[in-house]
């Protein structure tokens, strides 16, 4: 019996991504690692899944699989089919590019960690500044392994919660800080024409921002200070401050039943 913890490693940049390889090496210092990642880039796929539930895969080596699937699919397939024993932690990354603020809504990197949380395991999503130098990649991998070891040793596992990590390029003092998820706004594509025919093609370049451009909030502030940012993210999107809406809504033809208090009342 293998008494080492088992970490599932995935990403959205694909099985050949350098960040995945370096992170796998560091994670193996603290646990056994099963690598199950997309067979090509699946960036910005968010939490998409294949509802037909058929996936093509290739075994590349001992404990390493490439799957024709989204990051969330890869985690699901790994947990339910490919892992020979229960997985203790899901780690996703290292993504080539920050996932700041509302980036997390689109991120396949974050989605892989979130799928682990949905399936009952703690999750870590690890990202770094786009185009980071090799030293930063190594530092991000070491931080990811150290954080994974802490999660496993402390048995950190709050309900519906994952950790999103961002590592700035060139950070040299190994400091980190915990900060709340902020916001990030991109400049929308300019309107290309005033009227559109009944059918045709719309071709736009997806918005992109360098470093922390367009980002506001604690996560961006930590990065701008040269530190590694750690943000606990909760999958429960409930706006609790709005749960009294039933007492304030007046809807023609309908009567409010008040607020559900969580106990069936």
Q: What is the pLDDT of residues 125-168, one digit of tens each?
A: 999 999 999 999 999 999 999 999 999 999 999 999 999 999 99
Instruction: Work out the pLDDT band at 262, boundaries 50, 70, 90.
Output: low
The yes-or-no verdict on residue 189 having pLDDT over 90 is no
Instruction: Work out the pLDDT band at 183, boundaries 50, 70, 90.
Output: very high
Please state the three-class secondary structure of 123-134 as a single string.
EEEEEECCCCCH
* Region for 166 from its dihedrals, namely left if φ exceeds 0, alpha if ψ lies in -120 to 50, beta otherwise: beta
Higher pLDDT, 231 or 263: 231
Domains of the chain and CATH, by start = 6-248 (3.40.1210.10)
Q: What pTM was computed for the model?
A: 0.92
pLDDT, residue 190, reads 86
Instruction: Work out the pLDDT band at 265, boundaries 50, 70, 90.
Output: very low
pLDDT, residue 1, reads 58
Mean of the pLDDT values across residues 213-222? 93
Residue 241 DSSP symbol: G
Q: Residue 162: how many CA atoms within 13 Å on its side-chain side?
A: 26
Structure tokens at 47: 């939490």
Question: At a CB cut-off of 8 Å and minimum separation 6, what does 245 contact?
Answer: none
Residue 103 DSSP symbol: G
pLDDT, residue 263, reads 40
pLDDT, residue 210, reads 85
Query: Residue holding tokens 């699919």?
Result: 73
Angle between helices 134-154 and 18-27 (to 10 degrees): 40
Reported as a single tens digit per residue, the pLDDT across 221-237 is 999 999 999 999 999 99
The rounded distance, in Å, linking the Cα atoms of 145 and 165 is 12
Reported as a single tens digit per residue, the pLDDT across 244-260 is 998 889 999 999 888 87
Query: Residue holding tokens 């490439």?
Result: 66
């Amino acid at each position: 019996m293998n008494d080492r913890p088992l970490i599932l490693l995935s990403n959205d940049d694909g099985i050949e991504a350098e960040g995945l390889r370096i992170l796998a090496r560091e994670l193996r210092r603290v646990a056994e690692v099963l690598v199950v990642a997309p067979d090509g880039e699946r960036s910005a796929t968010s939490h998409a899944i294949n509802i037909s539930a058929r996936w093509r895969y290739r075994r590349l080596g001992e404990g390493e699989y490439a799957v024709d699937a989204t990051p969330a699919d890869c985690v699901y397939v790994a947990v339910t089919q490919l892992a020979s024993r229960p997985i203790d932690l899901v780690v996703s990354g290292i993504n080539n590019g920050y996932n700041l603020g509302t980036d997390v809504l689109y991120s396949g990197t974050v989605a892989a960690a979130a799928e682990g949380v949905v399936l009952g395991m703690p999750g870590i999503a690890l990202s770094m500044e786009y185009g980071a130098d090799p030293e930063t990649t190594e530092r991000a991998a070491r931080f990811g392994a150290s954080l994974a070891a802490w999660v496993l040793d402390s048995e950190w596992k709050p309900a519906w919660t994952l950790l999103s990590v961002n590592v700035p390029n060139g950070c040299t003092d190994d400091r980190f800080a915990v900060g709340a998820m902020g916001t990030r706004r991109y400049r929308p594509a300019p309107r290309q024409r005033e009227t559109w025919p009944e059918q045709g093609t719309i071709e736009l370049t997806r918005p992109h921002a360098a470093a922390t451009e367009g980002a506001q909030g604690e996560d961006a502030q930590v990065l701008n200070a040269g530190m590694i940012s750690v943000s606990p993210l909760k999958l429960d999107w409930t706006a609790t401050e709005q749960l009294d809406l039933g007492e304030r809504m007046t809807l023609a033809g309908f009567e409010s039943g008040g607020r559900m208090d969580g106990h069936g009342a």
